[in-house]
Amino acid sequence: MHPDLLRYSCQVALPGFGETAQQLLKQAKVLVVGAGGLGCPAAQYLASTGVGTIGIADFDIVSISNLHRQILYNPADAGQLKAEVACERLQEQNPDITLLPVIDKITSANVLQIIDAYDVIVDGTDNFETRYLLNDAAVLTGKPVVYGAIYQFEGQVAVWNVLTEDGSYSPNYRDLYPQVDATQVPNCSVGGVIPTLAGIIGCMQANEVIKLITNTGEILIGKVLLFDAQTMQSRMIKLGASTKTKITALQQTTEILTINAKATKEGLATHTLELVDVRTDQERDEFDIGGMHFELDEVEDNLDEFKPGKTYVFYCSSGKRSGEAVKLLQQKLPGVKAYSLEGGLGSW
């Protein structure tokens, strides 16, 4: 066996795999979007398996509250960019592959350019706007997406938009969820998540990527795997052989105004800014920096509290929920100026 293949000898020995499949992995280019609970284990196993080029796209920073499920990071990484830290760790794990950090936020203006160089997209996002954007961009460019999602004790895995033998494409995310009001679906910070679930679903995503690249096994096309970590039971939802949605253009993403901690503190000192905490009651009880308090799903019911002429800074633990709150205000109260605290309380 060639010395370069010694590392992969156990997988090369698999029936129906061999050096041909390993070469396909070496030539493949995979973009992992979201270097969080799902992206960390998915990227780690793709790197160890020998995928030749892996892009890691994430504009967020490491927070202490991430560490229980985002296994590529340690406490010393807090405040650093996830994509850069992840690429550094994975490069140490496998020096023979190429790792490319993408630290720009993915928007409708850059998504097509970002995914252009990759063969497969791994959706490890934790917000619906980016998830739909990735899905639509993949459909427009004919690229497959390996989808994963987790909440509390339950996870989902599927493979979207695969070209089938009859020339049609398999179902995509909009065949499952045509549209969702993101403000009504809490993320992991609000609803919680068992950390092992992130590892299980992330590994399943990596497994689907490997099968897709090497043309081995039965890929999760036209169906969604649902997994319950409490009962260790899974079931399949069948969606059909081909997509029934028609996507012709990207929906424009909303640009969320952000402000850093230094500028926020200066604004508070001069009484030109007002704080709004959108974390849970429990998080608020543990630590807060002042201001009004509404949980994210309560903001819309309290819009009369926000006055034109005033400037508000929404904050949460990481900047995710506060970003959703700012987006809501931009839609419902365009005359009110609002910012999201960049990096959340982790940057404070």
Tell me the HSE value of 95 on the side-chain side, using a 13 A CA sphere: 2
pTM (2 decimals)? Answer: 0.82
Q: Cβ(36)–Cβ(70) under 8 Å? A: yes
Q: Is the pLDDT of residue 189 over 60?
A: no
**Domains in the chain: boundaries:** 3-238, 258-347
Mean pLDDT value across the chain: 91
Q: In CATH, what number does 258-347 get? A: 3.40.250.10
Select, from the ranges 17-21, 57-61, 157-161, 338-342, the one with the highest average predicted confidence (pLDDT): 157-161
Which pLDDT does position 334 carry in this prediction?
87
Which pLDDT does position 286 carry in this prediction?
86
Percent of the chain with pLDDT over 70: 95
Q: Is the pLDDT of residue 193 over 90?
A: no
Query: Which residues does residue 228 pair with via DSSP β-bridges, in sequence order?
Result: 154, 233
Q: Is the pLDDT of residue 208 over 60?
A: yes
In the chain the beta strands, taken as DSSP E runs, fall at: 29-33, 53-57, 98-102, 120-123, 145-151, 154-160, 223-228, 233-238, 258-259, 274-277, 292-293, 311-315, 337-341
Catalytic residue IDs: 188, 316
Pairing, β 154-160 against β 223-228: antiparallel
Which pLDDT does position 66 carry in this prediction?
83
118-151: b or e for each residue (b if 16 or more CB lie within 10 Å)?
bbbbbbbbbbbbbbbbbbbbbbbeebbbbbbbbb
Q: Cβ(154)–Cβ(226) under 8 Å? A: yes
Which pLDDT does position 15 carry in this prediction?
92
Separation between Cα atoms, residue 292 and residue 287, nearest integer Å: 14
Separation between Cα atoms, residue 182 and residue 312, nearest integer Å: 21
| CATH value of 3-238 in 3.10.20.440, 1.10.10.10, 3.60.20.30, 3.40.50.720 | 3.40.50.720
Angular region, 28: left φ>0, alpha ψ -120 to 50, beta rest: beta
Specify the length of the chain in residues: 348
Which pLDDT does position 187 carry in this prediction?
56
Which pLDDT does position 129 carry in this prediction?
85
